[in-house]
Amino acid sequence: MKARKILSILLIALLVCLPLFTSCNQKAKYTVGICQLVQHPALDSATKGFKDALTAALGEDVAFDEQNAAGSSDTCSTIVSTFVTKKVDLIMANATGALQAAQNATTEIPILGTSITEYGVALGIDNFSGTVGGNISGTSDLAPLDKQAQMILDLVPTAKTVGLLYCSSEPNSAYQVKVVKEYLEGKSITCKDFKFSDANDVQLIAQNAATECDAIYIPTDNTAADNAEAIWGAVSAKKTPIIAGESGICSGCGIATLSIDYYDLGYKTGEMAAKILKGEADIATMPIEYTPEEKLTKLYNKEICEAVGIDTAKLESDGYTAIQK
Residue/partner pairs of 12-21 with CB below 8 Å, 24 or more apart? none
When the pLDDT of each residue in the chain is averaged and rounded to a whole number, the result is 92
**Distance (Å, whole) CA 212 – CA 46:** 35
**Distance (Å, whole) CA 261 – CA 238:** 30
Give residue 187's identity as a one-letter amino acid code.
K
**Distance (Å, whole) CA 186 – CA 183:** 5
Average pLDDT (171-191) is 97
Inform me whether the pLDDT recorded for 252 exceeds 80: yes
Inform me whether the pLDDT recorded for 269 exceeds 70: yes
Give SS3 for 73.
helix
In tens, the pLDDT along 12-41 reads 444 444 444 434 445 789 999 999 999 999
The predicted pLDDT at position 12 comes to 40
In tens, the pLDDT along 66-113 reads 999 999 999 999 999 999 999 999 999 999 999 999 999 999 999 999
Inform me whether the pLDDT recorded for 125 exceeds 90: yes
In the chain, what percentage of residues exceed pLDDT 70? Answer: 92
**Distance (Å, whole) CA 301 – CA 282:** 42
**Distance (Å, whole) CA 250 – CA 195:** 19
How, if at all, do strands 136-140 and 111-116 pair? parallel
Give the residue, 325 or 59, on which the prediction is more confident.
Answer: 59
Inform me whether the pLDDT recorded for 55 exceeds 70: yes
- Return the exposure string of 139-172: e unless at least 16 CB atoms fall within 10 Å of the residue's CB, then b: bbbbbebeebbbbbbebbeebeebbbbbbebbbb
Helix axes 171-185, 145-155, angle to 10 degrees: 50
Average pLDDT (236-256) is 96
Of 77, 3, 2, 87, the C-alpha closest to 37 is 77
| DSSP label at residue 284 | G
